[in-house]
């Protein structure tokens, strides 16, 4: 037994030696830097997710003349931590008739799809985990994968409420994905690139360093589609609590429920980031803020996230056929019009 262990150790040592002697130390350092970047982005985004739930409850509370969370810490500031501890230690209940493998991986797919999109987001000049040439397409691809988490959760729970919620949600996400993709085509045409860093840099020549003025039509459709993609009010039919209890994640509890919850909020922050980068000029602002290169991006993201809260407190839920008619008959033709106008202006100038 002993000499097997020493053999394995020797083999590992030789492998390491081979790797180092081949002069690939730089590669390892690069991998280390990438891992550090990923850790930084995940830590920052997860903190934002936790406090997005807190500020949502606070903001909507005050809009409805309530106080919102007040008990845990001053003004309830520690509420997200208490929520997390509660969800983490709750019992993980799995329905007896559930399709177990799919039930297990559905929340993981939802979180994976939301998190991996963060890899191509440029937070400030030069800081992006993966500077892909097709960054925008990558985000669209990942958001279409997110639909699988929802459908699989709905189906594998073996409950009619989950199933109906899953079907509604996937149909909605697929329909509005088209509007979202087409609304971003205008931005891509103006910037001449699918790389998000290039898109931000291309906006510097425009008023306020933003595309929102020439692309106001695209921005409007993008924001509507972003609400539908993230299943937020007024398009939160998949979770319509008066009809479907909670939609596709009715049967989930404890940490698995928390994963779905996190995926929804990461999706919301991701849409805010995408809107800020594609239409509001990303990290550029009217003047430079010293030492904090991502300050303007944060301000813009917070504004868009606040818009999500504001709309939720203001607008009632749509009916399902109205939602589909809005997506297919108004939003998609508007984006096509936007593409034609952008193309004509681009040819003329």
Partner 1 sequence: MLPQVLFLYFAFAIVALSLAVITRKNPVHSVIFMLVLFFHIAALYLTLNAEFLAAIQIIVYAGAILVLFLFVVLMLNLKEEVTEHRYISLWAVGVLLSIAISAIFLMTLSSIPLGAKGVFSPDVIASETHTVALGKLLYTEFLYPFEIASVILLVAIVGAVVLAKKRLKS
Give me the residues that bind partner 1 (CB under 8 A), please. 99, 102, 132-134, 137-138, 140-141, 144-145, 147-148, 151-152, 155, 163, 167, 170-171, 174, 177, 181, 194
The residue (of 142 and 326) whose beta carbon lies closer to partner 1 is 142
**Least distance to partner 1, CB of residue 155, Å:** 6
DSSP state of 318: P
Are the C-beta atoms of residues 215 and 268 closer than 8 Å to each other? no
Contacts of 272 (CB under 8 A, 6+ apart): 226, 300, 301, 304, 305, 308
Comparison of 2 and 321: residue with beta carbon closer to partner 1: 321
Q: How far is the CB of 302 from partner 1 (least distance, A)?
A: 30
Phi, psi of 319 (to 5 degrees): -85, 155
Other beta carbons within 10 angstroms of residue 308's beta carbon come to 22
For 328, the token pair is 């297919």
DSSP assignment of 104-135: HHHHHHHHHHHHHHGGG---BTTB-S---TTH
Our CB check for partner 1 shows the closer of 141 and 289 to be: 141
Query: At which residue do the structure tokens 């709309």 appear?
Result: 311
CB 62, min distance to partner 1, A: 39
In the complex, what is the shortest distance from the CB of residue 51 to partner 1, in angstroms, rounded to a whole number? 31
| For partner 1, the closer CB: 109 or 297 | 109
Task: Report, in Å, the least distance between residue 30 CB and partner 1.
Answer: 15
- Cα separation of 332 and 178, whole Å? 7
Q: How far is the CB of 99 from partner 1 (least distance, A)?
A: 7
Cβ closer to partner 1: 144 or 253? 144
Rank residues 136 and 221 by Cβ distance to partner 1 and give the closer one.
136
Alpha-carbon span 212 to 300, nearest angstrom: 12
């Amino acid at each position: 037994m002993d000499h097997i262990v020493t053999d394995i150790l020797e083999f590992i040592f030789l492998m390491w030696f081979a790797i180092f002697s081949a002069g690939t130390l730089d590669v390892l350092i690069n991998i280390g830097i990438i891992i550090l970047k990923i850790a930084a982005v995940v830590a920052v985004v997860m903190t934002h997710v936790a406090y997005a739930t807190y500020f949502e409850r606070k903001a909507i509370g005050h809009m409805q003349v309530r106080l919102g969370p007040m008990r845990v810490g001053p003004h309830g500031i520690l509420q997200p931590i208490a929520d997390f501890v509660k969800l983490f230690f709750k019992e993980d209940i799995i329905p007896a008739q559930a399709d177990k493998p799919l039930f297990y991986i559905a929340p993981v797919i939802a979180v994976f799809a939301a998190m991996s999109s963060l890899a191509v987001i440029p937070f400030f000049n030069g800081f992006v985990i993966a500077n892909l040439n097709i960054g925008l397409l990558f985000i669209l691809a990942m958001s279409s994968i997110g639909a699988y988490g929802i459908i699989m959760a709905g189906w594998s729970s073996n409950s009619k409420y989950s199933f109906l919620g899953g079907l509604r949600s996937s149909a909605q996400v697929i329909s509005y994905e088209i509007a979202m993709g087409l609304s971003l085509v205008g931005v891509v045409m103006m910037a001449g690139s699918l790389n998000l860093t290039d898109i931000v840099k291309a906006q510097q020549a425009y008023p306020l360093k933003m595309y929102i003025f020439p692309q106001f039509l695209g921005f409007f459709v993008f924001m509507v589609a972003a609400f539908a993609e993230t299943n937020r009010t007024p398009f939160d039919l998949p979770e319509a609590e008066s009809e479907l209890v909670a939609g596709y994640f009715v049967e989930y509890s404890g940490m698995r429920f928390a994963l779905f919850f996190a995926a929804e909020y990461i999706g919301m922050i991701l849409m805010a980031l995408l809107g800020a980068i594609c239409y509001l000029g990303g990290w550029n602002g009217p003047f430079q803020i010293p030492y904090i290169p991502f300050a303007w991006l944060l301000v813009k993201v917070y504004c868009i996230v606040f818009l999500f809260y504001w709309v939720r407190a203001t607008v009632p839920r749509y009916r399902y056929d109205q939602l589909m008619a809005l997506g297919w008959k108004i939003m998609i033709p508007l984006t096509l019009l936007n593409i034609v106008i952008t193309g004509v202006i681009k040819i003329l100038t």
